[in-house]
């Protein structure tokens, strides 16, 4: 008798992603294996040993916890990547004990909050990775936003260890305030995961986002009046600093209920984050009020349709981005300035991509550059009436001079 259908579904999704990772990171015959990302950092780590029980499972309350220090609460959370204190590390990272030996098997980590989605993902990774010759580990991030969050993180580490994942550790971060609580927590989380990937030399990190999460992301982008790139939702593969394909989302085609059923079938304990039901958070309101209202009005299938829209939008956005990259050289003069007449001749979607790229290259923060900013720059080309300079985030100024568009630090 085979596994429960939900368990089979999550394992198949993870197996496909692991095959992709192996294909990308297996050297061609006759070539030497490159050092894993972050391997140069390993010899400098000062590590300690966790206490183990007779069964070999880590039982020390603080085992596997690492701290990510910060210069201050207003700094980018998790941005300082330093080795964790010895008392807060696991003993499962064997590569630290032999710093001059590169592991022969690639390491894949799973980001696990303890919720149903990420626990299902962790269980599937633990099952599939050994069969493919891949080392599997797990990371949980303690945001420190709820009382007892450190104890909850320790419980998640224990569950990951029981699944056979090694290394298994938690990382405590300080969440700032930039962009609101949800964005600040996300920034801190990804900074911590990037640091963990570098520290352990992991080739990829798996994330448990489901089709439901994708639908919510599309609706949030639609509510902001964002462009097609925002409507494309989350990519199945995305990057981190210096690693263009670090993050993998195996469950984007699976619904949230499949993950929960897989946990029930395997008797995996899960934790339901109270923040996910708190109406103070936009995504929570959308999940518990917005999407149910849409399904009531439009019928079942809204989530699937939104997820499909995300994929179609991503394909279109990728094509337009490629077109804009190719067209950019043709609209610059010999000194590199953008020529307004040539920009005017381009389709608006292509032209605005070039303008956005130029603003970011001049120093405007991508996260603070909105559609209204690009529309104002675009009017310097399509609605020129002698208007003055446009002030952009990051103290960047855009102005029209002698038929050229000049974008620079003000």
- CB proximity list for 36: less than 8 A, separation 6 or greater: 102, 103, 106, 107, 201, 202, 203
Q: Distance between CA atoms of 166 and 161, rounded to whole angstroms? A: 7
Please list the residues that pair with 248 across neighbouring strands: 206, 237
Q: Which structure tokens are listed for 181? A: 């609580």
Residue pLDDT tens, the chain, 410 long: 789 999 999 999 999 999 999 999 876 666 555 444 444 433 333 333 333 333 333 333 344 445 443 333 333 333 333 333 333 444 344 444 444 444 579 999 999 999 999 999 999 999 999 999 999 999 999 998 888 889 999 999 999 999 999 999 999 998 888 777 778 888 899 999 999 999 999 999 999 999 999 999 999 888 877 778 888 999 999 987 778 899 999 999 999 999 999 999 999 999 887 777 778 888 889 998 999 999 999 988 999 999 999 999 999 999 999 999 999 999 999 999 999 999 999 999 999 999 999 999 999 998 788 888 999 999 999 999 999 999 999 999 999 999 999 999 97
Strand runs labelled E in 116-269 = 135-142, 168-172, 204-206, 237-240, 243-248
Residue 185's SS3 state is: helix
pLDDT of amino acid 30:
60
Residue 195: left (phi > 0), alpha (psi -120 to 50), or beta?
alpha
Please list the residues that pair with 377 across neighbouring strands: none
Q: Distance between CA atoms of 54 and 246, rounded to whole angstroms? A: 36
pLDDT of amino acid 263:
97
pLDDT of amino acid 34:
46
Q: pTM of this prediction?
A: 0.76
Is residue 68 within 8 A of residue 173, CB to CB? The reply is yes
Q: Concatenate the DSSP letters of all residues of 311-322 into one string.
A: HHHHHHHHHHHH
Cis, peptide link before residue 167, omega less than 30° from 0: yes
Secondary structure tally for the chain: helices H, strands E: 14, 11
Counting beta carbons within 10 angstroms of the beta carbon of residue 367, is it exposed (0 to 12), middle (13 to 18) or buried (19 or more)? Answer: exposed
**Pairing relation of β-strands 65-67 and 168-172?**
parallel
Counting beta carbons within 10 angstroms of the beta carbon of residue 262, is it exposed (0 to 12), middle (13 to 18) or buried (19 or more)? Answer: buried
Counting beta carbons within 10 angstroms of the beta carbon of residue 343, is it exposed (0 to 12), middle (13 to 18) or buried (19 or more)? Answer: buried
With residues binned 3-state (H G I as helix, E B as strand, rest as coil), the percentages for the chain, rounded to 5, are: 50, 15, 40
Closest CA to 405 of 347, 328, 349: 328
Largest Cα span, the chain: 79
Please list the residues that pair with 169 across neighbouring strands: 139
Q: Which structure tokens are listed for 259? A: 């993950």
């Amino acid at each position: 008798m085979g596994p429960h259908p939900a368990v089979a579904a999550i394992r198949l999704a993870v197996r496909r992603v692991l095959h992709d990772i192996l294909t990308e990171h297996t050297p061609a015959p006759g070539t030497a294996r490159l050092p894993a990302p972050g391997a140069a950092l390993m010899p400098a780590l000062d590590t300690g040993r966790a206490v183990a029980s007779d069964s070999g499972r880590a039982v020390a309350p603080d085992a596997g916890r690492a701290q990510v220090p910060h210069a201050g609460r207003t700094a980018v959370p998790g941005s300082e990547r330093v080795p964790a204190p010895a008392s807060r590390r696991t003993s499962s990272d064997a590569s630290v004990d032999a710093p001059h030996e590169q592991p022969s098997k690639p390491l894949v980590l799973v980001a696990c909050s303890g919720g149903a989605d990420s626990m299902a993902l962790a269980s599937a990774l633990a099952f599939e990775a050994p069969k493919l010759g891949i080392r599997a580990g797990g990371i949980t991030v303690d945001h420190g936003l709820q009382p007892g969050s450190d104890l909850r993180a320790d419980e998640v580490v224990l569950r990951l260890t029981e699944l056979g994942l090694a290394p298994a550790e938690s990382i405590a971060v300080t969440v700032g305030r930039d962009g609101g609580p949800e964005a600040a927590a996300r920034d801190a989380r990804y900074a911590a995961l990037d640091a963990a990937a570098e520290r352990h030399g992991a080739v990829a990190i798996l994330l448990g986002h489901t089709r439901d999460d994708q639908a919510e992301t599309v609706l949030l982008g639609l509510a902001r009046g964002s462009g097609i790139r925002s409507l494309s939702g989350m990519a199945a593969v995305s990057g981190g600093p210096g690693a263009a394909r670090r993050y993998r989302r195996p469950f984007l085609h699976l619904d949230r209920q499949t993950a929960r059923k897989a946990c029930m079938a395997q008797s995996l304990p899960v934790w339901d984050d109270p923040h996910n039901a708190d109406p103070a958070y936009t995504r929570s309101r959308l999940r518990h009020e917005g999407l149910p209202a849409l399904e009531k009005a439009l019928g079942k299938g809204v989530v699937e349709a939104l997820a499909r829209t995300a994929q179609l939008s991503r394909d279109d956005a990728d094509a337009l981005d490629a077109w804009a990259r190719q067209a950019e050289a043709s609209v610059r003069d010999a000194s590199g300035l953008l020529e307004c007449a040539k920009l005017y001749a381009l389709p608006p979607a292509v032209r605005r991509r070039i303008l956005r790229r130029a603003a970011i290259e001049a120093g405007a923060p991508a996260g603070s550059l909105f559609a209204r900013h690009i529309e104002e720059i675009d009017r310097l080309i399509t609605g020129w009436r002698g208007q003055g300079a446009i002030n952009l985030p990051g103290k960047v100024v855009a102005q029209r001079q002698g038929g050229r568009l000049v974008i620079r630090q003000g």
